[in-house]
Amino acid sequence: MDTALRRYDIIKKYRDKKMKCPFCGHLDTQVKDSRPSDDGLTIRRRRFCPECNSRFTTFERVQLRELTVVKKNGERRMFDRDKLAHSIGIAIRKRPVSAEQLEQLVTRITQKLESLGENEIPTSLIGKTVMDELKKVDSVAYIRFASVYRDFREANDFEDIVGELDSKT
Ligand SMILES: [Zn+2]
C-alpha cells in the first residue's frame, strides 16, 4: 500500500479510537453522534469526555492531494487548511456565519483547489478562490477579506469590489 495512504489510515484509526479531550487531556473520549455535513464532504462527530463531561466536535474529510502554496516571491510551503480557516475566520468575525458554515466554506475552497489537478498553487489563485466562495456567503466578510487580500492601496480597488456587489443585488 502507498505509504502516504497507509499513514493516513493509521492517523485515522488513531483519531477514531483515541481523540484526546481538548479540555482535560483525557485520552478516551466517546463518539456520541456521527453524521455527514449537508454537502456530504465531511463527517462531523460529536464527542463526549467522560472525565470532565465536556463536549466537542471533530471533522473527517477527504483529501485529494497534497498542495504546495507558491508565494509571489517564489517561496513554497505546505498548504495549511487551518491557516486558511483562520484567515477566513477573521473576515467573518461577528457576522452571521456559523462555525459549520465556515467549515463547509473551507472544505469547498480546499476541494476546488485540490480538483485543479496541480500540486502547486499560487497564493493569488487561493485568494481569488476564497473571494469567489466568500462572496456567496457574506458580502461584508467578502469586502473585509478583499481589503486584506487586495491591499487597498488604490481607492479604485474598493470601488471595483463595491461595484461587483451592486451588480449582484
Ligand atoms: Zn475532558
Residues with Cβ within 8 Å of residue 167, at least 6 apart in sequence: none
% of the chain beyond a pLDDT of 70: 78
Domain residues for the domain of 104 are 64-169
Residue 129 in this model has a pLDDT that exceeds 90: yes
* Residue 18 counted as domain residue: no
Using the mean position of ligand 1's atoms as its centre, give its distance from the Cα of residue 16 in Å. 16
Using the mean position of ligand 1's atoms as its centre, give its distance from the Cα of residue 12 in Å. 21
Residues 29 and 78 in one domain: no
Using the mean position of ligand 1's atoms as its centre, give its distance from the Cα of residue 43 in Å. 22
**Are the beta carbons of 141 and 91 closer than 8 angstroms?**
yes
Residues 72 and 152 in one domain: yes
Using the mean position of ligand 1's atoms as its centre, give its distance from the Cα of residue 2 in Å. 35
Tell me the pTM. 0.64
Buried-exposed string 75-101: b where 16+ CB fall within 10 A, e elsewhere: eeeebeeeebbebbeebbeebebeeee
Residues 103 and 75 in one domain: yes
* Residue 57 counted as domain residue: yes
Using the mean position of ligand 1's atoms as its centre, give its distance from the Cα of residue 54 in Å. 6
> What's the CA gap between 16 and 4, in Å, rounded?
18
Residue 16 in this model has a pLDDT that exceeds 60: no
> What's the CA gap between 27 and 42, in Å, rounded?
23
The pLDDT value recorded for residue 166 is 56
**What mean pLDDT do residues 80-104 have?**
89
Residues with Cβ within 8 Å of residue 100, at least 6 apart in sequence: 37, 44
Task: Give the chain's domain count.
Answer: 2
Using the mean position of ligand 1's atoms as its centre, give its distance from the Cα of residue 32 in Å. 14
Residues 114 and 44 in one domain: no
* Residue 4 counted as domain residue: no
Residues 73 and 137 in one domain: yes
Using the mean position of ligand 1's atoms as its centre, give its distance from the Cα of residue 30 in Å. 10
* Residue 2 counted as domain residue: no
Q: What does the pLDDT look like over 36-91, one tens digit per residue?
A: 877 777 788 999 999 999 999 888 887 888 899 998 889 999 998 888 998 899 89
169 vs 115: which has the higher pLDDT: 115
Using the mean position of ligand 1's atoms as its centre, give its distance from the Cα of residue 53 in Å. 6
Using the mean position of ligand 1's atoms as its centre, give its distance from the Cα of residue 18 in Å. 12
Using the mean position of ligand 1's atoms as its centre, give its distance from the Cα of residue 46 in Å. 14
Using the mean position of ligand 1's atoms as its centre, give its distance from the Cα of residue 52 in Å. 4
Using the mean position of ligand 1's atoms as its centre, give its distance from the Cα of residue 29 in Å. 8
**What mean pLDDT do residues 144-165 have?**
62
